Amino acid sequence: MINEKTVELSLPNVVGYERIAMGCSETFAKNLGFKRERIEDLKTAVAEACLNAMKHGNKGQMDARVIVVMNHDEDSFQVEVWDKGEGIVQFPNDPDIDKIINEIDPMVGFGLFLIKNLVDNVEFNKIDSQGHVVKMVIKKK
């Protein structure tokens, strides 16, 4: 059975390929009737999550992949960005993203700051042997 509400990308772990995820999320959100401003927020958040996955999660390993899964419901767009990393391990299960942003390297923290402020909900989850996933939700508003 084909699910037209889901798009999945498998990207090489190479900076520059985040643009494919940006373009795909833009087209998908545009087809769903999202406003231009929300689409720009979504693209930036997707790019930051992909870049973090490439640089920090997969640690630049050329043979690693970044998996991006996008789906939607009536009023929101969900994006998951998967990598093989440990995630933000110094703060396991800590829902306080502001604490994370303030206590890690500012260069890393800025990307997290952008994501947090551009989407309506964000979660960072370590998935046992599968790696790490950033889950983002953005609403049409």
pLDDT single digits (tens) 60-90: 899 999 999 999 988 899 999 999 987 765 4
106 pLDDT tier (thresholds 50, 70, 90): low
| 90 secondary structure, DSSP code | T
- Is the pLDDT confidence value at 101 over 90? no
Confidence (pTM): 0.86
Task: Indicate the helix (H) or strand (E) that contains 101.
Answer: helix 97-103
Which residues are within 8 A (CB) of 118 and not within 5 positions of it... i.e. 6 or more apart?
A: 41, 42, 44, 45, 138
The domains of the chain, with CATH numbers, are: 6-139 (3.30.565.10)
**Crossing angle of helices 18-31 and 36-52, rounded to 10°:** 150
> Which tokens sit at 59?
């640690």
pLDDT single digits (tens) 113-140: 889 899 999 988 888 777 899 999 999 8
72 pairs with which residues across the strands? Answer: 77
User: Whole-angstrom Cα distance, residue 63 to residue 29?
Assistant: 30
Instruction: Write down the pLDDT at residue 103.
Output: 62
